[in-house]
């Protein structure tokens, strides 16, 4: 498949034919965090399956809908349901969401995810503002022929998680009942959760949380110079930190418990973007 500039433009043209406005923020909702989309006022909903050249969600807790509307007076475009390499998508295909946001003119991207806590001072239900990431497995989503219209072949990723947005997110934590940390996210391809030995290695390398998403999107955002905020909801302590086994059900339970608080927190951040 030839993923050239026109390939991605085709998705954007379809969405633009339905949504005429430019989003202030485009938001990707992580595993079990789809409730946030219910806050969108005057929603316009587009099913992923109707967007040409777009991907479809295969994970149950990911709805597969693009929703445009207003939150806290800001125009937002929400992806309820995201794509992962473990679903069988090539890394290159995982550039589609952020490239769509870019082509629609979104000012910033906000990416949320569910993650396992590696830092032993974290606890389930905490939130981590992502300051940086570690990715030692899997190819870059920017492999293959470079698309110059999006960005250069070689690109800097020093400030991938935009400092100003991180500062806003940390300020918004004041007055929230959530415990908000700032830390490093480490990417594993999944779908298996990590082994205890991998988690010990991750900790030695400087990771505070681990997960199976976000990093492909963050790299795509850096390539096309899109300001980015990444937020992890710690849904469980990572493998081997406690004697508990990790399950997708547990991830759903914890996100369900803090759904309202997390939604209030993200809404406050959006109001300041």
> Which stretches of the chain bind ligand HPA, using CB under 6 A?
114-116, 188, 193-194, 210-212, 235-236, 238, 246, 251
Q: How far apart are CA 3 and CA 272, in angstroms?
A: 35
Q: Is 132 helix (H, G, I), strand (E, B) or coil?
A: strand
Residue 188 C-beta: closest distance to ligand HPA, Å: 6
Q: Residue 91's closest CA among 134, 132, 143?
A: 143
Residue 133 C-beta: closest distance to ligand HPA, Å: 13
Give whichever of 151 and 211 is closer to ligand HPA, judged by the CB atom. 211
Give whichever of 69 and 211 is closer to ligand HPA, judged by the CB atom. 211
Q: Is 55 helix (H, G, I), strand (E, B) or coil?
A: coil
Residue 129 C-beta: closest distance to ligand HPA, Å: 17
Give whichever of 11 and 255 is closer to ligand HPA, judged by the CB atom. 255
β-partners of residue 133 are: 185
Q: Nearest residue by C-beta to ligand HPA?
A: 116
Burial of 263 (0-12, 13-18, 19+ CB in 10 A): middle
Q: Is 181 helix (H, G, I), strand (E, B) or coil?
A: strand
Q: Which secondary-structure segment (H or E) carries 71? A: strand 65-71
Residue 128 C-beta: closest distance to ligand HPA, Å: 12
Residue 251 C-beta: closest distance to ligand HPA, Å: 5
Active-site residues: which are they? 31, 62, 84, 86-87, 114, 212-213, 236, 248
For residues 72 and 271, is the Cβ–Cβ distance under 8 A? yes
Q: Residue 51's closest CA among 20, 12, 89, 23?
A: 12
Residue 196 C-beta: closest distance to ligand HPA, Å: 11
For residues 107 and 227, is the Cβ–Cβ distance under 8 A? yes
Give whichever of 53 and 235 is closer to ligand HPA, judged by the CB atom. 235
Which two structure tokens, joined as six digits, stand for 237? 């302590």
Residue owning tokens 């905020």: 229
Give whichever of 8 and 193 is closer to ligand HPA, judged by the CB atom. 193
57: left (phi over 0), alpha (psi -120 to 50) or beta: beta
* Pairing state between β 108-117 and 209-211: antiparallel
Give whichever of 77 and 237 is closer to ligand HPA, judged by the CB atom. 237
Q: How many residues does the chain have?
A: 273
For residues 222 and 2, is the Cβ–Cβ distance under 8 A? no
């Amino acid at each position: 498949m030839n993923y050239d500039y026109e390939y991605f433009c085709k998705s954007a043209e379809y969405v633009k034919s339905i949504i005429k406005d430019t989003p202030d923020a485009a938001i990707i909702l992580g595993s079990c965090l789809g409730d946030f989309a219910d806050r969108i006022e005057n929603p316009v909903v587009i099913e992923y399956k109707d967007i040409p050249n777009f991907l479809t969600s295969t994970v149950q807790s990911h709805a597969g809908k693009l929703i445009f509307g207003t939150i806290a007076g800001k125009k937002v475009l929400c992806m309820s349901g995201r794509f992962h390499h473990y679903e069988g998508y090539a890394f290159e295909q995982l550039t589609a969401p952020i490239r769509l946001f870019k082509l629609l003119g979104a000012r910033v991207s906000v990416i949320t995810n569910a993650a396992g806590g590696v830092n032993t001072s974290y606890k389930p239900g905490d939130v981590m503002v992502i300051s940086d990431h570690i990715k030692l497995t899997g190819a870059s989503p920017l492999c293959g022929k470079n698309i110059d219209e999006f960005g250069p072949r070689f690109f800097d990723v020093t400030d991938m998680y935009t400092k100003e947005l991180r500062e806003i997110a940390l300020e918004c934590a004041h007055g929230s009942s959530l415990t908000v940390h700032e830390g490093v996210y480490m990417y594993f391809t999944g779908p298996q959760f990590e082994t205890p030995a991998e988690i010990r290695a991750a900790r030695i390398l400087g990771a505070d949380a681990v997960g199976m998403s976000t990093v492909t999107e963050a790299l795509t955002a850096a390539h096309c110079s899109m300001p980015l905020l990444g937020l992890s909801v710690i849904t469980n302590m990572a493998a081997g930190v406690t004697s508990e086994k990790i399950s997708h059900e547990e991830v759903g339970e914890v996100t369900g418990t803090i759904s309202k608080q997390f939604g209030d927190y993200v809404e406050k951040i959006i109001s300041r973007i």
